[in-house]
Amino acid sequence: MSIDKSLRRKNTLARTRSVLTRAERIAILQEEGRFAEGRSPFGLPKVRVLKVGGKPKKAKKEEKEEEKK
């Protein structure tokens, strides 16, 4: 049974995923220099998932103060 469209969340893919695919993990390890060519793609080490955030809250407060002046 599927979920009705009115009950679905609008930002389901906007959040940071906690699990990466094997290809994504290999790409990150290659960037860090931790994955050598010819190595088995199985048994990969853990890779930290970085959350992409917006502007810090302090920046918004500073902008509001500048607008008031």
Closest CA to 34 of 15, 47, 52: 47
Question: Where residue 22 falls among pLDDT bands split at 50, 70, 90?
Answer: very high
pLDDT at 29: 94
pLDDT at 17: 76
pLDDT at 58: 67
Q: Report the distance separating Cα 56 and Cα 53, nearest Å.
A: 8
- Residue 43, class by beta-carbon neighbours within 10 Å (0-12 exposed, 13-18 middle, 19+ buried)? exposed
pLDDT at 8: 72
For residue 1, give Cα distances in angstroms to 6, 9, 27, 54.
Answer: 15, 17, 36, 36
1: helix, strand or coil: coil
| Residue that wins the pLDDT comparison between 24 and 65 | 24
Tens of pLDDT, residue by residue over 30-60, are 999 999 989 999 999 999 887 766 666 666 6
